[in-house]
Amino acid sequence: MASTHNRSIACWLLTIILCACTDAQLSLSFYDASCPSLQIIVKGVMVASTLTDPRVPARIVRLFFHDCFVNGCDASVLLADTPTFTGEQNAAPNKNSLAAFDIIDRIKFAVELVCKSTVSCADILTIAARDAVVLSGGPSWQVLVGRRDARTASQSAAESDLPSQFSGLSTLVTNFANKGLNLRDLVALSGAHTFGVARCASFRDRAYNDQNIDPLFAAILRALCPPSGGLIDIAPLDVKTPTIFDNSYYLNLVSKKGLLHSDQELFNGGPADSIVSSYAADRSIFFRDFADAMVKMGNISPLTGSSGEIRQVCSRVN
Ligand code: HEM
């Protein structure tokens, strides 16, 4: 009886281990032998680029998000349009907004010098996103690697799958659930709006027509963003500490100073309020959840094994 019981426990454990292996596919040690200096190269370029342009970290983190939400973390967002190829970069949420493609190209160039045709652009972007957060004062985490690069990209998927700043909470929850991410992940990942900027067009409605906004804050936004035009006008996503990765984004939400309508939806008397309050009260809870959620987002449908390819240049397929 006892041995049958033990055997079934062993079977059960084996199933779990096998499931975990086939499911995860990514690992911490994937490049340990083939490219031992990978981490240090990525970090070096990130440090140097950030010194010359402080906007780099936020841009890289957003690139990573926009990659992972569109057919998984497969570097599809990095593929530039050509006369015969339409990618994701000109999709509405990305056009005139995503940037720092040149930073990924620079890292890839440096990596190729020492580890030729070995490291995917998707992994480079994932490591760079972690470094961007750390360089700005945020938490660190271990990056799982082993992703491969897509040979295709989808403008229509970018338009349908990326969340909109004009959406309400329930739509945002659905957008994230479609990617296997829950309410807590949504609230934690939105904390990336602790740095970086948005263009006037992204917050104009909020400045002129929104509820649930501090009146003085709305007046400041109106001064920054005219009722029409304002193509080059921008505002920081986190009015308190625009370049530092901290929890002040959540303190802003509690005082109705979220820049985007979608930001303020996380603190509007609904189910996300208690999570926002806990992050506003304790930076370490936010840091822990953010790091966990970034790993989770990095696991969205990676290409592994013999799928896809290792691109030589991140902006085009081999
Ligand atoms: C919850 C749904 C989200 C919506 C609706 C949203 C929307 C936006 C919008 C509209 C902008 C400004 C774009 C512009 O005006 O050019 C922006 C910027 C940014 N977003 Fe999000 N976002 C969301 C979630 C996220 C997530 C999950 C991350 C990363 C984990 C992220 C990272 C960023 C960063 C860092 C910036 C600043 C980029 C820069 O300074 O260039 N966002 N987002």
Residue 315, domain member (yes or no): no
Residue numbers of the domain that contains 213? 181-296
Confirm if 117 and 125 have CB atoms less than 8 A apart.
no
Q: Are residues 126 and 157 in the same domain?
A: yes
Q: Is 245 left (phi over 0), alpha (psi -120 to 50) or beta?
A: beta
Q: How many domains does the chain have?
A: 2
CATH code at position 153: 1.10.520.10
Which residue's C-alpha comes closest to atom 13 of ligand 1?
198
Q: How many residues does the chain have?
A: 318
CATH code at position 284: 1.10.420.10
pTM of full prediction above 0.75? yes
Q: Are residues 136 and 200 in the same domain?
A: no
Q: Taking the CA of residue 278 as centre, how many other CA atoms within 13 Å lie in the half-sphere pointing to its CB?
A: 14
Residue 127, domain member (yes or no): yes
Q: Are residues 131 and 200 in the same domain?
A: no
Measured in Å, residue 106 CA sits from the centre of ligand 1 at 23
173 CB less than 6 Å from ligand 1? Answer: no
Domain C-terminal end among 118, 133, 161: 161
Shortest-distance atom of ligand 1 to CA 196: 40
> What angle in degrees, to the nearest 10, is found between the helix axes of 121-135 and 101-114?
110
Q: State how far the alpha carbon of 12 is from the alpha carbons of 5, 9, 18, 25, in Å.
A: 11, 5, 10, 20
Annotated catalytic residues are 66
172 CB less than 6 Å from ligand 1? Answer: yes
Q: How far apart are CA 23 and CA 20, in angstroms?
A: 5
198 CB less than 6 Å from ligand 1? Answer: yes
Measured in Å, residue 150 CA sits from the centre of ligand 1 at 23
Residue 187, domain member (yes or no): yes
Measured in Å, residue 109 CA sits from the centre of ligand 1 at 27
Residue 166, domain member (yes or no): no
Q: Are residues 45 and 145 in the same domain?
A: yes
Residue 28, domain member (yes or no): no
Q: Are residues 149 and 193 in the same domain?
A: no
196 CB less than 6 Å from ligand 1? Answer: yes
Q: pLDDT tens per residue, the chain (318 residues)?
A: 444 444 544 444 444 443 333 344 899 999 999 999 999 999 999 999 999 999 999 999 999 999 999 999 999 999 999 999 999 999 999 999 999 999 999 999 999 999 999 999 999 999 999 999 999 999 999 999 999 999 999 999 999 999 999 999 999 999 999 999 999 999 999 999 999 999 999 999 999 999 999 999 999 999 999 999 999 999 999 999 999 999 999 999 999 999 999 999 999 999 999 999 999 999 999 999 999 999 999 999 999 999 999 999 999 999
Which residue's C-alpha comes closest to atom 32 of ligand 1?
62
Residue 14, domain member (yes or no): no
Measured in Å, residue 173 CA sits from the centre of ligand 1 at 16
Shortest-distance atom of ligand 1 to CA 98: 41
Q: How many CB atoms lie within 10 A of CB 277?
A: 14
Q: Are residues 146 and 259 in the same domain?
A: no
Residue 66, domain member (yes or no): yes
